[in-house]
Amino acid sequence: MKGVILHGGHGTRLRPLTHTGPKQLLPIANKPMSQYCVETLVEAGITEIAFIIGGTGSNKVKEYYGNGEKYGANFSYIQQDYPKGIAHAISLCKNFIGNEKFVVFLGDNIIQRSIGEYIFNFEKSNAEASLLLCEVTNPSQFGIAEIKDKKIIKITEKPKNPPTNLAVTGIYFLTPHIFSVIEKLKPSWRNELEIADALQMLVEDDKEIIFEKITEFWKDTGTPNDIIEANRILLNNMPTEFNGEKEPGVSIEGKVIVGKGTIIKNGVKIVGPTIIGKNCLIEENTNIGENTSIGDESKIISANISNSIIMSNCTIEGELTVRDSIIASNSKIQQKQNGKSEKFLLGEGTQISI
């Protein structure tokens, strides 16, 4: 079985974070979100993987992942000139897939469990598709499956009046038959070829679609709040590991991960779950609270940070409280007035003096 990771799109709901690169490379717990997809596939034994790339900074995907050798896999890259929908992106994989069954991951979907069992069940079945369904609180934001007598009878994309709360996650197990179905699709009102429409055509053609309901953590990271929430959950699932240096007066509570070369100065307080990357400097009088990720090569001086993602090579300086924020790489915030509390959503290379 082969794997496909959809890594295109404009990420408009995440601007300005996506003005300089694809949203799937935004880090969650100090790791690009699409890397969780890669690791899930490789762990399940899928090592032939194609990335569908396009949009702003698509070259960064190739630069980051390379040929796949460091992941024990072989990576290919297929260009999508314009975001014309998930089904269109899948259609571009026809030559890569050949006659094999395959699995598609949306690159901004994260699942915290092995998919090996799902692959096994799909491989031994005669189904043309297998879907992972998850109960959600906002079903109008997803493709929704309606089930009767343990059989999918309808799939609707973002219905105004959802018949169920069973979302079709962005993980699809498919056969090459899907390519002939996609050829019959007409663009939706969004001028895109919708995967929900292709799946519905399978239903109407009386093709077998099997499904599994997942109860483990699954997250579609489409908004800043989604990313911060995913960061919180992933940090809670990570083991404590301290590879840096700390002075005697440092206070650490809870689950904390610290990378090599990081120095934590006297008087710093850290409350986990928190991850601090490599070669960071955490200066005196700094408080780092729960659910915080700080990327490599960053410097935090006298600030209070919690429930936030600070990416690599950032500097935050001054008696500033940062909460519920995402600050992209190479950004700098200097606080010249005391005691302010701020919420930030900063694109790459931003500099702010307050």
Domain ranges of the chain: 2-226, 238-353
pLDDT of 184 over the 80 cut? yes
Q: Please give the single-letter amino acid code of residue 61.
A: V
| Residue partners of 335: CB distance under 8 A and separation at least 6 | 303, 317, 318, 319, 320, 354
pLDDT (mean) for 152-166: 88
Residue 48, token pair as written in the block: 């032939």
Q: Which CATH number fits domain 238-353: 2.160.10.10, 3.90.650.10, 3.40.50.300, 3.90.230.10?
A: 2.160.10.10
When pLDDT is averaged across residues 258-270 and rounded to a whole number, the result is: 96
- AA letter at 113: R
Q: List the single range of 46-55, 145-154, 222-231, 285-294 with lowest mean pLDDT.
A: 222-231
> What does the alpha-carbon distance between residue 243 and residue 276 come to, in Å, rounded to a whole number?
10
Of the candidates 310, 305, 216, 350, the one whose C-alpha atom is nearest the C-alpha of residue 27 is 310
Average pLDDT over residues 192-201: 91
State percent of the chain over pLDDT 70: 89
Confidence of residue 331 (pLDDT cuts 50, 70, 90): confident
- The answer to whether residue 12 scores a pLDDT higher than 60 is no
pLDDT above 90 (res 1): yes
Q: Which three-class secondary structure state does DSSP give residue 338? A: coil
- Over residues 300-307, mean pLDDT: 93
Rounded to two decimals, what is the model's pTM?
Answer: 0.88
Average pLDDT, the chain: 88
Q: Give the model confidence (pLDDT) of 38-74 as tens digits.
A: 999 999 999 999 999 987 677 889 999 999 999 999 9
CATH 1.10.420.10 fits 2-226, yes or no: no
